[in-house]
Amino acid sequence: MATISPEGRVVMVSGAARGLGRAIARRLIDDGYSVSLGARDIDALRAAHEGAPEAGRLFRSYNAVDPATAESWVDATVERFGRIDALINNAGILRQFALEDSDAEDKLDELYRTNVRGPLTLTRLAFLHLRRCGQGRVVNINSLSGLRVGRDDFVGYSMSKFALSALSHATRKAGFGDGVRTTNLCPSLMDTEMVEALGAPEELKIRPDSVADMVSMLLALPNTASVAELPINVFNEPGY
């Protein structure tokens, strides 16, 4: 077999109620994975996945700024399925400020809490289970802003996403010996609710389904094919 079968594997997806997280969750359900989905608004989460087969699904309230919800979500996942095979750190927020804005520090704290501390806590709590299964996968939904600084008002967003890149590579190194493969997945502008406010035309945004396909592929690759980083462009940018 060139790929690992989804059968019996359990995947946690954070921020699965909307945008890219919803697309990833749907794709993984279609693939046949058992999914444990977390989001702030549990009703929106259920509504987003209505009609999907009941078996092999768990919905939990998860707020990236509240580590206790990370713990209870990880616990509930292990209690229900007995294992965790993959973690998709998808939950993230966008806050814009430029270098000279007076609210820079406050917005940076907010970005770090969700985009950096959130994935750190989830990874740490799930790591034991990912290591135990011998072929764990972590996909950190990052951004091209985690690899280069783009817009002037993305100072804090980029800082938080660079930090997430560091977490991705640290996770890859820490888990490699136990078969945990980690990918720093870095799409450019996507067609999701989060970036709606930026007002870019649809044809200049990546479709969430395209990224969900890539996540599906990353989970299926065997231990012998580790993808450390995956930048995804929509524009022709110098360097990327």
Partner 1 sequence: MGDRLNGKVAIVTGAGASGPGWGNGKATAILFAREGAKVFGVDRSEEAVRETAEIAKAEKIAFTLRVADITEPDEVDKLVARCLELYGRIDILHNNVGIFELGSLDKDRDYFEHVQRVNMTSMFLMAKAVVPQMIEQGDGGAIINLASVAATHYTGAAYSIYATTKSAVIGFTRAIAMENAAHRIRCNAILPGVVNTPLALEPIRKRVGADEFQKILGERDAMVPIGRAATGWDVAKAALYLASDEASYVTATEIVVDGGLTAQFG
Choices 46-54, 126-134, 208-216, 231-239; region in contact with partner 1 by CB under 8 A: 126-134
Judged by CB under 8 A, does residue 128 bind partner 1?
yes
Antiparallel, parallel or unpaired: β 57-61 and 229-232? unpaired
- Determine the Cα–Cα distance for residues 105 and 110; give it in Å rounded to an integer: 9
Cα angle value 182/179/213 (rounded, 5°): 45
Judged by CB under 8 A, does residue 223 bind partner 1?
no
Number of residues located near partner 1, criterion CB under 8 A? 12
- Contact characters 174-213, partner 1, x per CB under 8 A: ----x-----------------------------------
- 9 within 8 A of 135, measured Cβ to Cβ: no
Judged by CB under 8 A, does residue 131 bind partner 1?
yes
Taking the complex as a whole, the smallest distance from the CB of residue 18 to partner 1 amounts, in Å, to: 26
Q: Does 157 participate in catalysis according to the annotation?
A: yes
Which of 41, 75, 109, 209 lies at the binding interface for partner 1 (CB under 8 A)?
75
Which of 113, 132, 148, 169 lies at the binding interface for partner 1 (CB under 8 A)?
132
Give the containing element (helix H, strand E) for 140.
strand 137-141
Choice between 29 and 125, CB closer to partner 1: 125
Cα dihedral 159, 19, 10, 147, rounded to 10, equals: -30
CB under 8 Å to 216, separation ≥6 — which residues?
Answer: 27, 28, 31
- 146 within 8 A of 173, measured Cβ to Cβ: no
Judged by CB under 8 A, does residue 67 bind partner 1?
yes
- 40 within 8 A of 113, measured Cβ to Cβ: no
Taking the complex as a whole, the smallest distance from the CB of residue 131 to partner 1 amounts, in Å, to: 6
Judged by CB under 8 A, does residue 68 bind partner 1?
yes
Active-site annotation, residues:
157
Binding site for partner 1 (CB under 8 A): 67-68, 71-72, 75, 79, 121, 125, 128, 131-132, 178
